[in-house]
Amino acid sequence: MEKKLSKSVTFKVIGTHQLNREVKKVHAIIEKTKNGFSAYAVNAEGVTGIGNTVEQCKHELINCIERITTSDAKNIPDILKGKYEIIYQVKADQTIN
């Protein structure tokens, strides 16, 4: 079944990294692609995810953040230091099966 989205859909996930107590917002855009879905964080360089479903795409984006925040403490984007909230937005006018 196809569902045409008439407006953006927002999901929230809370993640933490223990350097700061301020909650920041990571804005992630999810888009339909030819083969599934892709996501990227607008305000966190290098944060991406792909998947066959929206849920897989979100999971891969979270895995990417975990790799970034555990691999090299010097190169963690400021927005991922401390507490952060991921705001997912599915682009309007995307067709989802």
Of the candidates 50, 16, 13, 11, the one whose C-alpha atom is nearest the C-alpha of residue 33 is: 50
Which structure tokens are listed for 58? 């979100």
Distance (Å, whole) CA 77 – CA 84: 12
pTM, to two decimals? 0.72
Domain boundaries, the chain: 3-96
**Three-state SS at 74:** helix
Distance (Å, whole) CA 19 – CA 28: 22
For residue 12, pLDDT over 70 is answered with no
Q: What is the pLDDT of residues 30-59, one digit of tens each?
A: 999 999 999 999 999 999 999 999 999 999
For residue 88, pLDDT over 90 is answered with yes
pLDDT reported for residue 91: 84
